Structure 1
Amino acid sequence: MKQPIFLSVLLLFICANVFAQSKSNLKISGKITDAATGKAVEYASVGVTDQVSNKVVNGAVTDSTGYFEVTGLSTGTFTVNIDFIGYEKKSVTNVQMGVSGKTVDLGNIALTPTVKTLAEVTVTGRAAIIENQIDKIVFNAANDVTSQAGVALDVLKKVPQVSVDIDGNVELQGNPNVRFLINGKPSSVFGNSLTDALASIPANQIKSIEAITSPGAKYDAQGTGGIINIILKDNRLQGVNGSINLAAGTRLENGSLNLNFRKNNFGLNAFFSGNKQLSSRTPSAQDRLSTNVADNTQTHLLQNGYQDFQRSGYRSGIGFDWNLSKKDNLIGAVGYNNFSNSSSGVTNISQTLLGQNGVPIAASNILRNSSSKGGIGAIDWSLNYIKKFAKDGQELNVLYSSSFGKPRASYNQVQNLASEQIPFAGTSGNTPGNDKQTNISIDYAHPIRKNFIIETGVKTVLQNISSVADIRVFQPALSQYIPDPAQSYELGYDMKIYAGYLSTTFSLFKFLNVKAGARFEHTDVKIDYPNTAIPSYNNLVPSLIFSHNFKDEQSLKLAFTRRIERAEYRDINPFMNLSDPYNITTGNPLLKPEIGNNFELGYNKSFKNGGNVYIALIERINTDDVKPYTILYPTYVIGDSTYVNVSVTNRQNIGIEYNSGVSISGSMPITSQLNLRGNLMVTQKRVVNDLLGGNVTNGTNWRFNLNATYLLPKDLVLEGFGNYSSAINTIQGKRPQQLTYNFAFRKQFYHKNASIGLTATNPFTKYISQVTTIRTGNYISKNTVLVPYRSFGVSLTYKFGKLEFKRGKEQGNDFLHSAPSGDN
């Protein structure tokens, strides 16, 4: 572990010294605006050419205020060329460098809109698939042709520093405590089942995914691992247009419809999508040996069986944006999400009681039939008012968003001796609930001068959760389930968060870019559950980022952020899932928030051919670290029922976790046809378990993925993607390694407005074997699950409608096609 970290530090040191030896730091700056409206032109290309050699020496892209700065220039005479889609090219000649200081300010440069009709002309300005920004990594899924099949989980696998296991668990920089947002807003669907929620979003509806590893003070402090923001496609072009996407396969089927309408300053969009994961059988086995310290006997438990699992969901919504004036914008949306999952199966159980000398004392063979269901229906709505002022960058943003979800979970299990047909035991549980969240925020940005901006704001988060558990126990004498009041309960959970922040972005000594801020959050929690009380608490959450941009598109940054992980609905609900009465899972309403302190030292380099590389050293320290924890009980009483030889798993505050790691990610065009993207992360984890008197667990994990895309003639694309994660020690055992891979083929036709794709996932192996071990003071368990992962699929996409080209910022930041039919 020390060697890769040492090499990375050495590389960063060498790069920094090379940059420091640059012979010149002369620069050209200016601002690009629209000659007709006076508005800033974002993302315009600025190139500087030496008038003697006629060679391009450097360039830049304008920011959100239209400002650009080209650095690393030497003395001489240059031409500055400005170009952007929908405008006439413009050149500023005879720019003399080194005559009157280090900086030449060209002031305001106005671009003239073109009047050329583009009905039959395709103009393409494609953004990079991966962008490294000061606080986040952006994966432009809409620009990745083969990302259009599957669901959000499939797209997340390609995002640098993000890992997704075969069960759908997501980690950012090795941390599973990630805050998920859709279009920058939270939703109650993520609090019930994150995997189900991510499996309900079709990949073809995703414009980009932001992995925010160093969130500033403006962001909510929730999520010690950072924030993942899923940005859905929109369309800023005039006219009526839409797209239809269909995908079918051996494991997954989905479809979606997008409709967009825009006339002048008003736009409307609507969508509907549905998906279904077909029923698949998952064989599993458990081999467990436990010790009863009271009488020094042992129990050997063997469970072999299967579960038939399926998942389905659909999403729908409608939204609008209305430019009330040149300075006022109103954005609103309402959507409905519904997803569910179900499983059923049969398990053969063999249990043997062993005496002190290992001789069998008693044995039993049991057959268990079990089933479970879960899901949520949720409605989200939001209204956003944005006010821009005369000064560039001065902005007021008021946002109201709310979400109301009805999570649901149920199970049923019945057991009978293998020699008998009549059940002797069984349990059923049903827990409907409500989850309401409301967010109200006011944000204000004020530029003091160029490169010096102050931001401030306040926010209120209100969350109310209620749940009812109806538990019934099977009575053999009556041959039916009878309500058990001792196990049934009602849960009320009310959380209020009041937050305020102040942050600033400025340049220090014209060398160092600084983004600093602090956020204060007061959390008040009330819970209506027997013998449970949670005191209110305060958190001061600082953030600090230093960065420096060198010539040739290179930068270095050092970041520190503090984050909080509050428990979600699924973590606090004390509902006991008894679908397997030997392995019970439940929630913990007494969970304290986890506090994370994250450090990152990163180097980024972008190449003229579109490639880039990012190297980061990462240190993360979590206090009150939350992890799943398992305890074995020889006897365990729930209500009026007593269970024997039972393991109970819930999430607990373990202690302190230290994570030290190095991450290397990049994208490189090898040829004009072949592009490679890869991501390597090595993490050394050290956990101090206070529940076991400070016991220390060490483990090293490394993850690697590689994506290869090859462009063939006639708009054919081939892609291969592989992902590997090594095994790692946990506080109570070992987590298994994982290897997945897939191949994709896509053909575009009809002016790239239609496409057909073929995909194959793990085509050479039907199952992925997952062996997990758990060790405690009185038992060891080996769990084997054969996950059905092989699949084949086909997808179809068609984009329709008439578009009118609209210039400037109204087009958005993604790549654009102005043709008979458009592209989101």
Structure 2
Amino acid sequence: MKFILTLLIVFTTFSIKAQNNSLVQNRGKINGRVVDSISRVPIAYAGVTLYQDGNDNPVNVAASDQKGNFSISNLADGNYRMVVEFLSYKKRIIDHIVIGKSTNLSLGNILLASIQTLLESVTITGKVPVIENKIDKLVYNAANDLTSQSGVATDVLKKVPQITVDIDGNVELQGSSGIRFLINGKPSSIFGSSITDALQSIPASQIKTIEVITSPGAKYDAAGTGGIINIILKNNNIQGINGAVNLSAGTRLENGSVNLNVKHGNLGLSTFFNGNSKPNTTTINSINRRSVFSDTINDLTQRGNSDVRRKGFSTGFSFDWTINKKNSLTGSVGYDFFKNANTSLTNQQIKVQKSSALITDDYSLLNSVNHSKENSLDLSLEYKKTFQKEGQELGIQITSGIGRDDLFYEQQQSDINTLVPFSGSNSKNPGKDNETEIVVDYTYPVNENLTIETGAKTIINTIESNVFMFDLNNATKEYTPNLSQSNKLDYTRNVYAYYLSGTFKLFNFLDIKSGLRYERTTANANYSQVGKIQLKPYNTFAPSFVLSHSFKNKQTLKLSYTYRIERPDYEDLNPFLDLSDPRNASTGNPDLKPEIGNNFELGFNKAYQKGTNLTIAAFYRHNGHDIKSFSTFYPSLTVGDSIYQNVTLSTRLNIGEEIQKGISISGSIPFSNKVTMRTNMFFTNQTIINKYTGGPNVNGFGYRLNLNGSYQIKQNWAAELFGNYNSSQKSIQGKRPAFFSYNLAVRKQFLNK
């Protein structure tokens, strides 16, 4: 039926144009693009009908193409109204269209809102699915998922196929933590110091979609052995003035956001403000650690509690200017701020036995305070030019991120009976993380079956870290500078990249996207205590390909390969020694080498009638120079001119190799026009080959299961329930615990959208 209707529309358009062929010159023209109001996905085959004011007979009709674009030309002077409609979407009427001589009017994006239409007891619902599979990525439409409207970005990621989030908020993609995070397709300095903290500062209500790219093509940076997660924030291109306010409150998190958009003709302006706060939360901590050296046994027992508080906000401004039909300019300014505070009180016991004889049995009280805050300013300017040939495009983009962070800790150990401090220290660690990117991309469609993409990129990254260390003087009970532990790091890294890729059909059977990316990395570091270190530059050749075949019965099979690299980031490199707990210290490692990944994936997608769909992806990943956190116990650790007893020091190391083999299964089943169930299952077997110490190696199985059920109560009422279970998972030196979470949401829509 849709095919016949499209033929009729196209035939009618052709007939009208043929009758007016002699009047082509000096006639008006209208063009636009029809998209879904929520997901901004193009709507193909939408009907576009044009009427002259005061006349119910159509002047012209058209149908949108696969990209949602349409064009109506040869229009006489006058006033018109346009009707845009498509099955299961609310009809859109655009009035007061004025056409004069040689008018070339662009209406930009025309947004259609999905509706539920009742036809003789049959309900037809037209909306974008929550999960979409494309040739090179998976798209999770968070705006269409009711239980994804509260919480923060970390809560949304728990629902995305192939992504796991542990109980501490650490994110993995297909079992790998080497992920390149983007916001609206661009890097952000908010991720510089702590990805976990940054994700917890983004309200879920601000997220439109999350793109998961497990096999990035040559156009993308080679960084990220696990792949790329692109968080797309909400934006609005409706003509006129519109806005939105979101508020949520709870015992563990409070969120709020305000958006305001102004669109007039070819210029759009947007501004936003959002914030969240985690009220004071008390957690109970316990550690039991035994270390054995020859005939000596060291036991550490810690029992205590911590009060944790977190708050942050983001604000920004953006513009979108369509200069003319072939040229556009967009820009944005964003500012992010968040801070954490942690106060803990811990009872600790240290017992040392030698040849079964008790040498030491000491009890003490540890009082520690940690503060961290980070702010970042992100600037972006992008110019895009299209050409006469459809699909030919040139893009130039400049982005700059300016990040500032400030870490502070103070700790004192006291006699448990007298509460008099016998040792203590504090440290301040201000830092800077600045990054500028210049990108040029060019797309040229050679013919219907071959498209060439090429481009170049320069990344300039500078990191500065200052450590100011102070020790408690037992005699004066005052803090004095510790110059041997104070340090300064200046680190510069530049990346120069070029890529070439092609998309084409082979034997009219396979859709192929392949390419090669070249990157040259130069870096140098300067330490105040050591001096300048010239790091050896290195070259990276990163090939990639995707082979895809679509069957007639809505089945798709694809095979992909990509070569990835994981460069150490600020958190990995920062030599700041965190001694807020003198028994459990941590530091970065400026000598880290980049991690190398080779990733293979075989995926299958099947769409059934009535909306059911199934996606299965099997993968194999091999990482060399694998970067892991590694802990070493020291009975006595000398740092500068200070000596610490019974310390476990954690740092980042190139531990060896890691192999991940697994499968991801996700699907959706509409049991009726009111009830829909979605599931997402992930199973993986992990092998870590420990080359750093020569063993032992680690082999373990892990899985994640979640289930989401939605129920349309009435026309404006909906409810959803979400549950998630993560199994325990072995690590290089231990095991992460299993955990379960659930979420229930009810929504009532007011007024008309």
Quickly name the TM-score band, shorter chain normalised. Answer: 0.7 to 0.9
The residue correspondences of 1:720-759 to structure 2 (distance < 5 A) are 720-751=721-752
Of 313-322 and 737-746, more deviation after overlay is shown by: 737-746
Find the aligned partners of 1:476 and 1:187 in 2 and give their Cα distance: 44
Find the aligned partners of 1:117 and 1:285 in 2 and give their Cα distance: 54
Name 1:470's counterpart in structure 2: 468
Aligned CA distance change for structure 1 residues 343 and 87 (closer, same or farther; 3 Å): closer
Amino acid at match of 1:568: D
The residue correspondences of 1:28-47 to structure 2 (distance < 5 A) are 36-37=29-30, 43-46=42-45
Give the Å deviation of 1:66.
Answer: 5.5
Amino acid at match of 1:665: S
Secondary structure at the aligned position of 1:477 is classed as coil
Name 1:772's counterpart in structure 2: none
Instruction: Work out which of the residue numbers 361, 364, 378 in structure 1 matches 2:362.
Output: 364
Confirm or deny that 1:220 pairs with 2:221: yes
The residue correspondences of 1:143-292 to structure 2 (distance < 5 A) are 143-292=144-293
Confirm or deny that 1:305 pairs with 2:298: no
Find the aligned partners of 2:609 and 2:317 in 1 and give their Cα distance: 40
Find the aligned partners of 2:511 and 2:680 in 1 and give their Cα distance: 27
Find the aligned partners of 2:91 and 2:459 in 1 and give their Cα distance: 42
Name 2:55's counterpart in structure 1: none
Of 309-318 and 124-133, more deviation after overlay is shown by: 124-133
Amino acid at match of 1:461: I
Secondary structure at the aligned position of 1:196 is classed as helix
Name 1:571's counterpart in structure 2: 572
Is the contact between residue 637 and residue 643 of structure 1 (CA under 8 Å) also seen in structure 2?
yes
Name 2:66's counterpart in structure 1: 63
Instruction: Work out which of the residue numbers 458, 474, 485 in structure 2 matches 1:460.
Output: 458
Name 2:348's counterpart in structure 1: 349
Find the aligned partners of 1:193 and 1:171 in 2 and give their Cα distance: 14
Write out per-residue CA displacement over residues 41-60 of structure 1, whole angstroms, 9 at most, x where no aligned residue.
6733459xxxxxxxxxxxx9
Confirm or deny that 1:331 pairs with 2:305: no
Name 1:703's counterpart in structure 2: 704
Instruction: Work out which of the residue numbers 409, 429, 435 in structure 2 matches 1:431.
Output: 429
Secondary structure at the aligned position of 2:188 is classed as coil
Is the contact between residue 407 and residue 428 of structure 2 (CA under 8 Å) also seen in structure 1?
yes
The residue correspondences of 1:12-161 to structure 2 (distance < 5 A) are 36-37=29-30, 43-46=42-45, 62-64=65-67, 126-161=127-162
Is the contact between residue 341 and residue 372 of structure 2 (CA under 8 Å) also seen in structure 1?
yes
Give the Å deviation of 1:301.
Answer: 1.3
Is the contact between residue 193 and residue 375 of structure 1 (CA under 8 Å) also seen in structure 2?
no
Instruction: Work out which of the residue numbers 398, 401, 406 in structure 2 matches 1:400.
Output: 398
Name 2:605's counterpart in structure 1: 604
Find the aligned partners of 1:167 and 1:45 in 2 and give their Cα distance: 43
Amino acid at match of 1:351: I
Name 1:391's counterpart in structure 2: 389
Aligned CA distance change for structure 1 residues 422 and 564 (closer, same or farther; 3 Å): same
Find the aligned partners of 2:619 and 2:656 in 1 and give their Cα distance: 20
Is the contact between residue 65 and residue 393 of structure 1 (CA under 8 Å) also seen in structure 2?
no
Is the contact between residue 534 and residue 590 of structure 1 (CA under 8 Å) also seen in structure 2?
no
Aligned CA distance change for structure 1 residues 466 and 478 (closer, same or farther; 3 Å): same
Confirm or deny that 1:482 pairs with 2:485: no
Instruction: Work out which of the residue numbers 442, 456, 465 in structure 2 matches 1:444.
Output: 442
Instruction: Identify unmatched segments of 5+ residues in structure 1.
Output: 1-27, 48-59, 68-80, 89-111, 752-821
Is the contact between residue 192 and residue 403 of structure 2 (CA under 8 Å) also seen in structure 1?
no
Secondary structure at the aligned position of 1:195 is classed as helix
Aligned CA distance change for structure 1 residues 411 and 87 (closer, same or farther; 3 Å): closer
Give the Å deviation of 1:118.
Answer: 11
Find the aligned partners of 1:481 and 1:339 in 2 and give their Cα distance: 28
Of 705-714 and 396-405, more deviation after overlay is shown by: 705-714
Name 1:554's counterpart in structure 2: 555
Percent identity reads: 46
Write out per-residue CA displacement over residues 713-754 of structure 1, whole angstroms, 9 at most, x where no aligned residue.
242222111111111222212221121122222222223xxx
The residue correspondences of 1:587-598 to structure 2 (distance < 5 A) are 587-598=588-599
Aligned CA distance change for structure 1 residues 407 and 713 (closer, same or farther; 3 Å): same
Give the Å deviation of 1:610.
Answer: 2.5
Write out per-residue CA displacement over residues 92-113 of structure 1, whole angstroms, 9 at most, x where no aligned residue.
xxxxxxxxxxxxxxxxxxxx99
Aligned CA distance change for structure 1 residues 409 and 331 (closer, same or farther; 3 Å): same
Find the aligned partners of 2:266 and 2:721 in 1 and give their Cα distance: 42
Write out per-residue CA displacement over residues 49-96 of structure 1, whole angstroms, 9 at most, x where no aligned residue.
xxxxxxxxxxx99533869xxxxxxxxxxxxx98787689xxxxxxxx
Confirm or deny that 1:416 pairs with 2:417: no
Aligned CA distance change for structure 1 residues 118 and 479 (closer, same or farther; 3 Å): closer
Is the contact between residue 45 and residue 66 of structure 2 (CA under 8 Å) also seen in structure 1?
no
Amino acid at match of 2:544: S
Write out per-residue CA displacement over residues 115-160 of structure 1, whole angstroms, 9 at most, x where no aligned residue.
x9999x9999521111011111101111223321111111111111
Write out per-residue CA displacement over residues 307-351 of structure 1, whole angstroms, 9 at most, x where no aligned residue.
111110000000000000001010000010000111001000111
Secondary structure at the aligned position of 1:506 is classed as strand
Give the Å deviation of 1:40.
Answer: 6.7
Aligned CA distance change for structure 1 residues 65 and 592 (closer, same or farther; 3 Å): farther
Give the Å deviation of 1:552.
Answer: 2.6
Is the contact between residue 246 and residue 256 of structure 1 (CA under 8 Å) also seen in structure 2?
yes
The residue correspondences of 1:742-821 to structure 2 (distance < 5 A) are 742-751=743-752
Secondary structure at the aligned position of 1:146 is classed as helix
Find the aligned partners of 1:486 and 1:414 in 2 and give their Cα distance: 20
Amino acid at match of 1:545: V
Secondary structure at the aligned position of 1:221 is classed as coil
Aligned CA distance change for structure 1 residues 82 and 548 (closer, same or farther; 3 Å): farther
Confirm or deny that 1:520 pairs with 2:518: yes
Confirm or deny that 1:499 pairs with 2:484: no
Is the contact between residue 307 and residue 344 of structure 1 (CA under 8 Å) also seen in structure 2?
yes
Name 1:322's counterpart in structure 2: 321
Aligned CA distance change for structure 1 residues 654 and 200 (closer, same or farther; 3 Å): same
Write out per-residue CA displacement over residues 276-312 of structure 1, whole angstroms, 9 at most, x where no aligned residue.
011111111111122233xx22222111101111110
Once superposed, what is the RMSD of the aligned Cα atoms?
2.7
Is the contact between residue 136 and residue 212 of structure 1 (CA under 8 Å) also seen in structure 2?
yes
Give the Å deviation of 1:503.
Answer: 0.3
Secondary structure at the aligned position of 2:611 is classed as coil
Name 1:659's counterpart in structure 2: 660
Find the aligned partners of 2:43 and 2:241 in 1 and give their Cα distance: 27
Give the Å deviation of 1:166.
Answer: 2.1
Name 2:378's counterpart in structure 1: 380
Confirm or deny that 1:538 pairs with 2:539: yes
Find the aligned partners of 1:117 and 1:407 in 2 and give their Cα distance: 41
Aligned residues: 673
Give the Å deviation of 1:527.
Answer: 0.8
Of 226-235 and 714-723, more deviation after overlay is shown by: 714-723
Find the aligned partners of 2:309 and 2:377 in 1 and give their Cα distance: 23
Of 466-475 and 666-675, more deviation after overlay is shown by: 666-675
TM-score if structure 1 supplies the norm length? 0.78
Instruction: Identify unmatched segments of 5+ residues in structure 2.
Output: 1-6, 18-28, 36-41, 47-62, 71-84, 94-105, 118-124
Find the aligned partners of 2:364 and 2:555 in 1 and give their Cα distance: 65
Write out per-residue CA displacement over residues 517-554 of structure 1, whole angstroms, 9 at most, x where no aligned residue.
01000011111122755211110001100000111321
Secondary structure at the aligned position of 1:303 is classed as strand
Find the aligned partners of 2:212 and 2:572 in 1 and give their Cα distance: 24
Aligned CA distance change for structure 1 residues 454 and 477 (closer, same or farther; 3 Å): same
Give the Å deviation of 1:579.
Answer: 0.6
Secondary structure at the aligned position of 1:534 is classed as strand
Find the aligned partners of 2:300 and 2:362 in 1 and give their Cα distance: 10
Find the aligned partners of 1:680 and 1:174 in 2 and give their Cα distance: 13
